Amino acid sequence: MNKIQLVLTVNGRDHEVWVQPSQTLLDVLHDELGLADVRYGCGEGLCGTCTVLLDGEPVNGCLTLAVQAVGRPVTTMRGLPGPDDALHPLQECFLRRGASQCGFCTPGMVLTALDLVQRHREQGRGRPSREEIRYALVGNLCRCTGYTKILDAIEEYADQAARQ
Amino acid sequence: MTTADQQLTGSRSGYRVVGSSPAHHDFVDKVKGSLHYAADWQLPGMLYSRVVRSPLPSARITGLDAAAARALPGVAAVLTAADVPHNQTVERASGGLAELEVAMPVLAQDRVRYFGEAVAVVAAATQQLADQAAELVSVDYEELPGVFDVESARADGAPRVHEVGNTLVNWQIRCGDAAAAMAAADVVVEGEYRTQHVEHAYLEPEAGVGWLENGVLTLRVSTQVIEHAATIAQILRLPQSKVRVIAAYMGGGFGGKEDMTVEPFLALLVWRTRRPVRMIWDRQESLAASTKRHPFIMRYRTGASLDGTITAQQVEILGDAGAYPNLSPRVLFAGAACACGPYQAPNASITSAAVFTNNTPASAFRGFGAMQVVYGYEGQMDRLAERLGLSRIQVRERNFLAKGDLLPTGERLDTCVEIGQTMHRALGMLGEPPRPTGPGKLVGRGLGCNRHPYGRTIWFRDRASAWLSLQADGTLLIRSGVTDLGAGQAASLCQIAAEVLGARLDDISVYIGDSALNPPAGGTFATRQLYMSGNAVLHAARELRDRMAPVAADLLGVASGELEFADGLVRPASAGAPGVSTAVSLTLAELAAACDQRSISTAHLSTWRAAAGAFDPRAGQGDTFPDYTYGTHAADVEVDTETGQVTVLRYAACHDVGRAINPMRVQGQIQGGAMQGLGYALTEDMALTDGHPQAALFADYLIPNAQDYPDVLVDVVESGEGKGPLGARGIGEPPIGNVAATIASAIADAIGARPDRLPMTPERVLWLIDARRTPGQQSAQEGGLR
């Protein structure tokens, strides 16, 4: 199949990539750009391990074609820390609360939660409740933690964000 | 925020590092997204691969044509059974004790025995080409009669899955005279309990990359067991020194990465093509072809006196092994050994058979046979309570085991049994009984107790090694063959070494999971790594400290026994006391230099061995497991009597963990285990119809999401009497065991009838409600624990 050249803007930088029109954003980010924080989990848009922010909104990389991302900024979890590689405050909360076990779901959880907290702030709705966080996370599965510590971490971050 | 936050503060035990919950470097990498899992490596010239699998559960292979696949440009290899030097993996899960010897081929030659069995394997320049080539491999099958349930498989004239017979193993455990005691019992309660096929559903599918380096076949894979290197060497007829397995940090395993998954296929392709090869099973392939949890049929008869004291247990267990042995003999053994739970059984007769069918092979899954039986023995306890008009608490307290008591195997329990304390604490966390939320709703409270082994079956004479090196600058290296499932297996070793040697956690690096460079630790399964490798590191650290202590004592002018290793320093133990000068101390770097000057090695390799023993399968008596973890879960549920829907309102779990090395990770294990158990109890079913899996997609197999269940409240007992390091007990598997029994107990409390079949779907609960729908059973609405 013929490859086409695209420019993808990922974590603030432009990348020229040659891709097949049928290639998913997940495959291009993971295999072509070496972004190991975007992960294949099911290929069906159900588990959320390939979550990235596209135009600032969480999408499943496995259900998005790479060509759909042209001209739209893509953020993966590795794009969150500042230039000094410091942890994002939400990542700090995950670490402090023990919200990662195997860690495979963590990037998707963090990006989905970040979007939720930001949307609530922008819409003047204050901090999302624990139940609202649960609802936002239904597309991000975790098989290790039982979710409690993930919810604790996100609530702690939401509290911090609300105070700022 | 939640009560799960309780008890994360420092230890009450007098330890500095053990008992606290520091985050380890692998967790920093995980929250950054910078950890490289098995699928994340790329090597120059790497090929991509795909397995060709059988679309039939029972068939003869009458022809295989790979010419079209091989002719496809970009295809590097298409391998079939004829290309496998030694096409057999014989695990002999019980070491040959009492089981049939049946080999499993790497690639099926003339016969397939389950849907998804591997027939050929392909490598190509791109994943797309590999997928395309796999589709071009043409296999002719002649369908054969199959057998798809254990009872049919045991019947006369049943189609044979393997020539030698369909019963892989039939264990018995006997003590006293169960038949006579049953006949003499005041009451006898009977129950039949059925459990289902379950999928591990780790979020990271089976994956790995293999390559050749200095003539050594090297695989970096997602595996719980690097010791499979020996089996891979056998398959390729290579010396064991020419195969190296590196375990990446896993994206979950839960037992599903205890048997080999991608390893033999990668090994064959790398060896044949001499190029790096990557293999990732897609989710559909993982669902169809990976091993499953054994469905059990359990028939219990329990005899008791009028005061509730159990006098006899008769238990018959049948487990569906699927098409090949894998670890089934040992799974069914664990089921038999734990069939009577944390209760007295002075007269017992237990049989437990693993039966071949043409279903997906079943093997290890968190709980390993010892978890299925909880649904059976706790069902019996609730039934006994109901029959005798006793509370469910009373009947349990009447029968709880205690230290010094005998198990049905004739073994004497030599550590404390705090099961009663866990029961009261778990129930205590639930608080006041809830009220129904509306008409047609019933609430109920349930509980489930368990006794779960940690450590390998004793007759394997388990051992684990660890190698510590104090570096010249005072930092510490730990090398261990342990593999890390995400539970903090490596991190716990660092805490233990830091406690003994006083190195700062930030100054410790741990190298794990490499069959060539690490001393063997024996695989991460059976809740054994804290017990085994934790003890190995504890003893290695103590021995190293004891070797270096005289040097420090000499320099500091105090006796060796008066030294304290802490905060990166060695000092007189009195130095930490208020008002005592801390000037007199050595840094670990100074100590390392002093040892070097005196030609005293600061590196130390130590092997820790578990107790040895033997089991006599004919007598049904002997040694089984090193020790047990005891715990109780409790739950409040609401049942919608119109729909049969069960809503879990509150969930609490308490286990005696002996000593919490890292309390936050202990909580995480309990919460995660309970959540997996809730899926098992209520929704998860990897059903097969005539050997064909009904869930083809992740969309069809429902694991719990963040909205399905409430937070799991956790409390722990720290009895300090486990056989792990510093008195710890294992906690990896135990907390999944109690859940289904706890939910069944709560449903029974709500509706007055107990579901005996998993999962407890709305349909099944509704059937029970309809069968029992009579006026005047409203006492269940009180929600109190009867």
Q: Which residue in B80, B65, B71 sits closest to B124, CA to CA?
A: B71
Give the pLDDT confidence of B54-97 residue by residue, as tens digits: 999 999 999 999 999 999 999 999 999 999 999 999 777 777 78
Q: In terms of domains, do A159 and A96 share one?
A: yes
Tokens 């969309």 correspond to B699
Taking 50 as the threshold, does the pLDDT of residue B686 lie above it?
Answer: yes
Taking 70 as the threshold, does the pLDDT of residue A10 lie above it?
Answer: yes
Do the Cβ atoms of B306 and B594 come closer than 8 Å? no
Query: Residue A131 domain-assigned?
Result: yes
Whole-angstrom Cα distance, residue B499 to residue B361? Answer: 43
Query: Residue A84 domain-assigned?
Result: no
β partners of residue B448? B633
Give the pLDDT confidence of B265-278 residue by residue, as tens digits: 999 999 999 999 99
Whole-angstrom Cα distance, residue A61 to residue A77? Answer: 13
Taking 60 as the threshold, does the pLDDT of residue B416 lie above it?
Answer: yes
Give the E-state strand segments of B136-237 in sequence order.
138-143, 167-175, 187-194, 207-213, 216-221
β partners of residue B118? B53
- Domain count of the fold of chain B: 4
Query: Residue B649 domain-assigned?
Result: yes
Whole-angstrom Cα distance, residue B741 to residue B681? Answer: 8
- The structure tokens listed for B364 are 């290890």
Cis, peptide link before residue B439, omega less than 30° from 0:
no
Structural domain containing residue B553: 463-609
Query: Residue B410 domain-assigned?
Result: no
Phi first, then psi: give them for residue A159, nearest 5 degrees: -65, -45
Q: Which residue in A138, A154, A92 sits closest to A162, CA to CA?
A: A154
pLDDT of A83 reads 66
- Label each residue of B584-642 as H, E or C: CCEEHHHHHHHHHHCCCCCEEEEEEECCCCCEECCCCEECCCCEEEEEEEEEEEEEECC
Q: In terms of domains, do A111 and A71 share one?
A: no
Do the Cβ atoms of B124 and B76 come closer than 8 Å? yes
Give the pLDDT confidence of B556-568 residue by residue, as tens digits: 999 999 999 999 9
Q: In terms of domains, do B454 and B506 share one?
A: no
Question: Which residues lie below 8 Å from residue B88, measured CB to CB, with a gap of 6+?
Answer: B103, B104, B105, B106, B235
Helix %, strand %, coil % of chain A (to 5): 40, 15, 45
- The structure tokens listed for B77 are 């290899």
- The structure tokens listed for B759 are 């999962």
- The structure tokens listed for A99 are 């919200």
Whole-angstrom Cα distance, residue A15 to residue B209? Answer: 26
Per-window interface: B 131-190 vs A, CB < 8 A: none
Taking 60 as the threshold, does the pLDDT of residue B4 lie above it?
Answer: no
Instruction: Read off the CATH number of the domain in which A32 is found.
Output: 3.10.20.30
Q: Which residue in B162, B288, B265, B151 sits closest to B219, CA to CA?
A: B265
* Chain B residue with Cα closest to A82: B32
Following DSSP, what letter does each residue of B432-471 receive, concatenated?
A: SPPPPSSTTEEEEEEEEEEEEEES--GGG--EEEEEEEE-
Q: In terms of domains, do A64 and A106 share one?
A: no
* Crossing angle for the helix pair A106-122 and A148-163, to the nearest 10 degrees: 30
β partners of residue B445? B636
Query: Residue A18 domain-assigned?
Result: yes
Give the pLDDT confidence of B594-605 residue by residue, as tens digits: 999 999 999 999
Boundary-marking domain end, from B235, B260, B289: B289
Give the best residue of B32, B670, B700 to mutate against chain A (max A CB count within 10 A): B32
Per-window interface: B 3-62 vs A, CB < 8 A: 4-5, 21, 23, 26-37, 39-40, 42
Q: In what order do the strands lie in the sheet with B508-512?
A: B508-512, B476-480, B463-470, B603-609
> Across the interface, do B668 and A36 touch by the CB < 8 Å criterion?
no
Classify A10 as helix, strand or coil.
Answer: strand
Query: Residue B382 domain-assigned?
Result: yes
Boundary-marking domain end, from A52, A76, A100: A76
Taking 60 as the threshold, does the pLDDT of residue B786 lie above it?
Answer: no
Q: In terms of domains, do A68 and A93 share one?
A: no
Q: In terms of domains, do A63 and A108 share one?
A: no
Mean pLDDT computed over A34-56: 97
Q: In terms of domains, do A12 and A48 share one?
A: yes
Instruction: Read off the CATH number of the domain in which B259 is found.
Output: 3.90.1170.50
Boundary-marking domain end, from A76, A111, A129: A76
Query: Residue B734 domain-assigned?
Result: yes
Q: In terms of domains, do A121 and A153 share one?
A: yes
Query: Residue A114 domain-assigned?
Result: yes
Mean pLDDT computed over B490-504: 97
Q: Is B666 on the interface with A (CB under 8 A)?
A: no
Select the more confidently predicted residue: B12 or B643: B643
Q: Which residue in B374, A150, B195 sits closest to A158, CA to CA?
A: A150
Specify burial of residue B125 (Cβ count, 10 A radius: 0-12, 13-18, 19+).
middle
Query: Residue B180 domain-assigned?
Result: yes
Whole-angstrom Cα distance, residue B16 to residue B500? Answer: 10
Do the Cβ atoms of A29 and A76 come closer than 8 Å? yes
pLDDT of B577 reads 60
Q: ipTM exceeding 0.85?
A: yes
Q: In terms of domains, do A67 and A116 share one?
A: no
- Domain count of the fold of chain A: 2
CA distances to B94, B641, B755, B781 from B440, rounded to whole Å, are 51, 5, 19, 11
Give the pLDDT confidence of B158-214 residue by residue, as tens digits: 999 999 999 999 999 999 999 999 999 999 999 999 999 999 999 999 999 999 999
Boundary-marking domain end, from B265, B289, B313: B289
* Chain B residue with Cα closest to A145: B672
In sign, the C-alpha dihedral spanning A141, A142, A146, A147 is negative
- The structure tokens listed for B258 are 């205890």
Whole-angstrom Cα distance, residue B769 to residue B752? Answer: 8
pLDDT of B578 reads 59
- The structure tokens listed for B453 are 């082994």
Q: In terms of domains, do A153 and A93 share one?
A: yes
Q: In terms of domains, do B518 and B442 share one?
A: no
Query: Residue A126 domain-assigned?
Result: yes
Q: In terms of domains, do B183 and B223 share one?
A: no
Query: Residue A26 domain-assigned?
Result: yes
Give the pLDDT confidence of B421-459 residue by residue, as tens digits: 999 999 999 999 999 999 999 999 999 999 999 999 998
Give the predicted TM-score (pTM) of the model: 0.96
- What angle (nearest 5°) sits at the alpha carbon of residue B246, between those of residues B264 and A33? 95
Taking 50 as the threshold, does the pLDDT of residue B9 lie above it?
Answer: no
Q: In terms of domains, do B483 and B597 share one?
A: yes
- The structure tokens listed for B75 are 């295809």
Instruction: Read off the CATH number of the domain in which A153 is found.
Output: 1.10.150.120
pLDDT of B780 reads 41
Classify B346 as helix, strand or coil.
Answer: coil
Q: In terms of domains, do B428 and B314 share one?
A: no
Chain B residues near residue A37 by CB distance under 8 angstroms? 32-34
Q: In terms of domains, do A43 and A12 share one?
A: yes
Q: In terms of domains, do B523 and B667 share one?
A: no
Give the pLDDT confidence of B588-645 residue by residue, as tens digits: 999 999 999 999 999 999 999 999 999 999 999 999 999 999 999 999 999 999 999 9
For A141, the closest of B27, B30, B705 (CB atoms) is B705
Structural domain containing residue A101: 89-163
Minimal CA separation from B316 to chain A, in Å = 32
> Across the interface, do A44 and B697 touch by the CB < 8 Å criterion?
yes
Query: Residue A83 domain-assigned?
Result: no
Lowest mean pLDDT among A48-52, B642-646, B772-776: B772-776
> Across the interface, do B202 and A78 touch by the CB < 8 Å criterion?
no
Following DSSP, what letter does each residue of A85-133 receive, concatenated?
A: -PPPHHHHHHHHHT--SS-TTHHHHHHHHHHHHHHHHHTT--SPPHHHH
Q: How confident is the model at residue B579 (pLDDT cuts 50, 70, 90)?
A: low
Boundary-marking domain end, from B271, B289, B307: B289
Q: Is B295 on the interface with A (CB under 8 A)?
A: no
Q: What is the DSSP letter of B38?
A: G
Whole-angstrom Cα distance, residue B145 to residue B97? Answer: 30
Q: In terms of domains, do B219 and B187 share one?
A: no
Minimal CA separation from B47 to chain A, in Å = 13
Q: In terms of domains, do B676 and B746 share one?
A: yes
Query: Residue A139 domain-assigned?
Result: yes
Q: In terms of domains, do B704 and B764 share one?
A: yes
Q: In terms of domains, do B352 and B470 share one?
A: no
Q: Is A150 on the interface with B (CB under 8 A)?
A: yes
Lowest mean pLDDT among B25-29, B289-293, B659-663: B25-29
β partners of residue A16? A7
Q: In terms of domains, do A150 and A112 share one?
A: yes
Q: In terms of domains, do B500 and B646 share one?
A: no
Question: Which residues lie below 8 Å from residue B446, measured CB to CB, with a gap of 6+?
Answer: B634, B635, B637, B741, B742, B743, B744, B745, B746, B747, B748, B749
Give the pLDDT confidence of B201-258 residue by residue, as tens digits: 999 999 999 999 999 999 999 999 999 999 999 999 999 999 999 999 999 999 999 9
Q: How confident is the model at residue B781 (pLDDT cuts 50, 70, 90)?
A: very low
| Residue pairs between chains A and B whose CB atoms are closer than 8 Å | 180
Mean pLDDT computed over B92-113: 89
Whole-angstrom Cα distance, residue B541 to residue B469? Answer: 10
Instruction: Read off the CATH number of the domain in which B182 is found.
Output: 3.30.365.10
Helices (H), A49-98: 89-97
Q: In terms of domains, do A111 and A138 share one?
A: yes
Chain B residues near residue A147 by CB distance under 8 angstroms? 671, 675, 704, 706, 711
Summary mean pLDDT of chain B: 94
Please count the other Cβ atoms lying within 10 Å of the Cβ belonging to residue B149. Answer: 17
Q: In terms of domains, do B229 and B244 share one?
A: yes
Q: Is B459 on the interface with A (CB under 8 A)?
A: no
CA distances to A19, A31, B402, B441 from B132, rounded to whole Å, are 18, 19, 61, 54
